[in-house]
Homo-oligomer: A and B are copies of this chain.
Amino acid sequence: MASQFTVHGRLWIEGPDGTVLGHGRVELLEKIDALGSLSAAATALGMSYRYAWKLVKLMNEHSDGPLITLNAGGRGGGHASLTEAGREAVATYRQTDREFEQFLSEQSEKLPG
């Protein structure tokens, strides 16, 4: 029988200037990619636009190059999209995260009774 206790964790990637990607930030990137809009992505995640915008700014500043492109004005009011670097960063994080989930469930199995 499995233990009533489980191992949990959080994972993130840091660069020289601070955190680049974490769980929440990657979810935001994926929603931006899916919806083409920062405000729609933030709303979909139950996150305030104000904060989502700050996260985007931080991610762009702390990576080698921008991960997200934001455009104000124009048809539909504006647009948001991922750069090629942004999509690669998401893929890299997801791969790492999959192995982390694997690690966590293995460790949970090992816990004593």
Instruction: Write the residues of chain A forming the contact surface with B, with a CB cutoff of 8 angstroms.
Output: 4-16, 20, 88, 92, 96, 99-100, 103, 107, 110-112
* 11 A–B pairs (Cβ distance < 8 Å), ordered by A: A6-B13, A6-B14, A8-B13, A9-B9, A9-B10, A9-B12, A92-B111, A92-B112, A99-B107, A100-B103, A100-B107
Q: Dominant SS at the A interface?
A: mixed
In the complex, how many angstroms separate the beta carbon of A49 from the nearest chain B beta carbon? 28
Residues of B within 8 A of A13 (CB): 5-8, 111
Which among B5, B10, B96, B110 is the interface contact of A20 at CB below 8 angstroms?
Answer: B5
**A92-B111, A103-B100 given; A8·B11 CB < 8 A:** yes
Q: Once bound together, how far apart are the Cα atoms of A55 and B101, in whole Å?
A: 27
Tell me if B8 and A12 are in contact (CB < 8 A): yes
Residues of B within 8 A of A8 (CB): 11-14
A88 to chain B: closest residue by CB: B112
